Structure 1
Amino acid sequence: MTGRPAIRPDRLQERLERFAGIGATPKGGVDRQALTAGDREARALLAGLARDRGFSVRQDAAANLFLRREGAHADLPPLILGSHLDTQPTGGRFDGALGVLAAFEVLEALEDARLSSERAVEVAVWTNEEGSRFAPGAMGSQAFAARAIPPEWLAARGADGAVLGEELDRTVVSLAVPAAPLGFPIAAYLELHIEQGPVLEREDIPVGVVTGIQGTLWLEIEIEGQAAHAGTTPLAFRRDPMRAAAAILTELYGSIMPGDEDARFTVGRIEARPGSVNAIPERVRFTIDLRHPDAGVLRDLADRIAGVCEGVCAAAGCGLSIRRLVDMPPIAFPAEMVERIEASARRIGLASRRIVSGAFHDALYLARCAPAAMIFCPCRDGISHNEAEHVEARFVSAGASVLLEATLSFLDDAR
């Protein structure tokens, strides 16, 4: 060993700039959606950088990519550091990529210092965390945790008409590396991510110690009425699904978040069919994104939504169907993992605060496999999933340094 491993902020910043050029948008963001040519280009670049440093590269059937720095004992489960490289259609350059490239910087810092370790350390690049092209999100980490790819995923079509199974095959074949098993034993999992909210920046705290991830429920509500002429149909003869939808949303917007400061209620998509200006629609479909850190409260809110929908639709003479698209219960990270991250920040003189993640991340599924923890970096104005997303260089360096310090603490435990 030539000295204690340390992050090289200049190298990490250069890598962030380089990867932001793959899928760069005119407004400074990134469009590098899952399993596209841009996603494959980013994976190939990272694999090449790993090989240049002497790290091994593997890929599993879900196109999860693993970059491994060997330990003295190959039979010990590795420590995994990871995140994702795919983005939203008009995403930022830090969401996901910061976690991957900071994890790779940790591997390079260990290699620079010639640090020997008992167990291997691997960087994982999880497939399709965003879920913007193919739903659901976090596909790669879900498949890894379940050790299987659900067959229905393979037939799914993206917004661009692409078939997931075909794009997955193209991605796997495009990178000629050895195959990894879909799921294998791991010692622990660490993930660095931007906060995607305003709390840390507002308090000028460089490190967020994530205590858990709130639960997420995605619902698709479809209301069926009767198409009719807009100009000739009196109110008493209308079975108007749009009017029912408006009544439902008025009630839910007015009660769910105002009644619980921890609740999050969002309608992100709404459509009417047949979609004519001068016709009462036959059906209206909209989505609900419901989140809460308490599983019991989340269930109660879901029941409340169903009750409101049923009551309004019955009064309006409309049919109703409710379909669950995503149902992810909340998770609390182990207390010893939270404390390990806090201690790592203290050792290198960085202030931290505990925080709950409002967004879901790959760590939600890796926590089903092994002890997991997350570190948050502040982002400017709390903006994410946006081309204006930005993280100051000092916060990038702080987050990566805590990730390295936590990694070293795990490696010390294995001695």
Structure 2
Amino acid sequence: MSGTNQRIDGKRLWDSLMAMAEIGATPKGGVKRLTLTEVDRQGRDRFRTWCESLGLTVRVDAIGNMFARREGRDPGRLPVLLGSHLDSQPSGGKFDGALGVIAGLEVMRTLNDLGITTEAPVELVNWTDEEGSRFGHSLMGSGAWAGVYPLDKVYGLKDVEGITVEQALTGIGYKGSHPAKPFPADAYFELHIEQGPILEREGRQIGIVTGAQAQVWYDAAVTGQDAHAGTTPPSARRDALVTAARIIDLVDRLMRARGEDGRGTVGQLHVLPNSRNVVPGEVRFSVEFRHPDFAEIERLAGEFPRAAAAVADAAGTPLQLTELFRLPAQPFDPGCVDLVRQAAARLGLPAREIVSGAGHDAVYVARSVPTAMIFTPCKDGLSHNEAESIEPEEAAAGCQVLFEAVLARANRPL
């Protein structure tokens, strides 16, 4: 990297990433830090200790989001936020979310090392339950903070053991006293692994994220009739799984009709009674579509339900399709995005503009705070997997861009 003598410490960043990865470490080299569990508490406690050792003031809001504040020269200026999340999937990787939080910590450490007092305060955020893998509601902390989800509704969500979010927050000691709602902030920056193959394929070290894709999600249920697999002839079968399979193929065809920008996925499938010698009588499954253009999502939201219903009707197996949500594409703030672009150019890092295919806390934060994201490559584009991997120099490059962008925003002339 060229362009600056204000360097983050890449080795310290990597060592801290590895230290956080010890908490919830799995045998295959990943992490299992499910939100609001004892393991999550350990990760939060270590994060809090690191922040407080730097002289940062840590506060926790009512949904457990953690904010570590470094004061600026001008107490009247709005803070610049940066961060991500520390929770993981059940078989997650070391870097999804954690990179953004620990890189933010390294930004704070570097500001201290260099004796820099920024004009605006800087606040590092650990958002609660980005993954949604325990309570079934992704982007929970940032969504509650942004006012997308009512706090009472979020508190009442339950895991498979019947434990509510509020009980879990209280149980680990992270139901904070501060309101879970937006406060005035000048900007938000989030560093994250790409979770896809584009940067690696093109040999780019930095993704300048211009926004996030539009999405529509459904819950689907096909009802057929349980029947004996050996005695029920084709003419008498109402096989819910065959119908579901045809609808899943429809999802794939609708995706591929939109080229490389199309995304269509069935990620969950529950077959009942799930016996090898019984014709399936009920199948429940998830469906989601994503696309950078909201107009395409609107077209899919019109086309898919009709086409899927026709498949089900032809088989005599009724389909119940429930639309969970429809999100427009979320553009990020041009000024913040440009700071990322300028930093990558100044550092001589090969970069490209990219649209986020995944949902991130930044998507909800962007509704009330000017926002930008930075992507780094990950090996083979693999994420939500214990084999998720990045190189130390990739982490350092992303962190350096984050440092430059945050510093420029916090010191910008008003």
TM class by smaller structure:
over 0.9
Contact 1:5 1:112 in 2 (8 A): no
2:401 counterpart of 1:402: yes
The equivalent of 2:8 in structure 1 is: 7
The equivalent of 2:129 in structure 1 is: 128
Shift of 1:272: 1.6
Contact 2:255 2:289 in 1 (8 A): no
Contact 2:63 2:180 in 1 (8 A): no
Q: How does 1:181-196 map to 2 (within 5 A)?
A: 182-196=181-195
The equivalent of 1:379 in structure 2 is: 378
Identity among equivalent pairs (%): 43
Shift of 1:178: 6.3
Shift of 1:252: 3.0
Q: TM-score, structure 1 length as denominator?
A: 0.94
The equivalent of 2:255 in structure 1 is: 256
- Residues 395-404 or 264-273, more deviating: 264-273
The equivalent of 1:105 in structure 2 is: 106
* TM-superposition CA deviations, 1:138-163 (whole Å, max 9, x none): 11111111186443332222245432
SS at match of 1:63: coil
Shift of 1:398: 0.5
Contact 1:4 1:113 in 2 (8 A): no
C-alpha separation between the residues in 1 aligned to 2:180 and 2:86?
Answer: 21
Gaps (5+ residues) in structure 2?
none
C-alpha separation between the residues in 1 aligned to 2:239 and 2:380?
Answer: 41
Shift of 1:5: 4.1
* TM-superposition CA deviations, 1:127-184 (whole Å, max 9, x none): 111111122211111111118644333222224543222112223x258x76355321
2:95 counterpart of 1:65: no
The equivalent of 2:289 in structure 1 is: 290
Kindly tell me: are residues 102 and 344 of structure 1, through their superposed partners in 2, closer, same or farther at Cα, counting changes over 3 Å? same
Kindly tell me: are residues 119 and 70 of structure 1, through their superposed partners in 2, closer, same or farther at Cα, counting changes over 3 Å? same
The equivalent of 1:24 in structure 2 is: 25
Contact 2:28 2:386 in 1 (8 A): yes
Shift of 1:220: 1.1
TM superposition outliers: structure 1 runs of 4+ over 6 Å: none
Gaps (5+ residues) in structure 1?
none
2:225 counterpart of 1:226: yes
Contact 1:218 1:289 in 2 (8 A): yes
Contact 1:5 1:110 in 2 (8 A): no
C-alpha separation between the residues in 2 aligned to 1:16 and 1:323?
Answer: 40
C-alpha separation between the residues in 2 aligned to 1:115 and 1:183?
Answer: 27
The equivalent of 1:304 in structure 2 is: 303
Contact 1:216 1:360 in 2 (8 A): no
SS at match of 2:337: helix
Contact 1:84 1:100 in 2 (8 A): yes
SS at match of 1:146: coil
Contact 2:240 2:280 in 1 (8 A): yes
Contact 2:250 2:308 in 1 (8 A): no
Q: How does 1:180-219 map to 2 (within 5 A)?
A: 182-219=181-218
Contact 1:133 1:160 in 2 (8 A): no
Contact 2:266 2:286 in 1 (8 A): yes
C-alpha separation between the residues in 1 aligned to 2:181 and 2:13?
Answer: 29
Matched length: 411
C-alpha separation between the residues in 1 aligned to 2:291 and 2:272?
Answer: 32
C-alpha separation between the residues in 2 aligned to 1:78 and 1:348?
Answer: 25
Contact 1:200 1:207 in 2 (8 A): yes
C-alpha separation between the residues in 2 aligned to 1:241 and 1:268?
Answer: 17
Letter in 1 for 2:10: P
Q: Once superposed, what is the RMSD of the aligned Cα atoms? A: 1.9
Shift of 1:322: 1.1
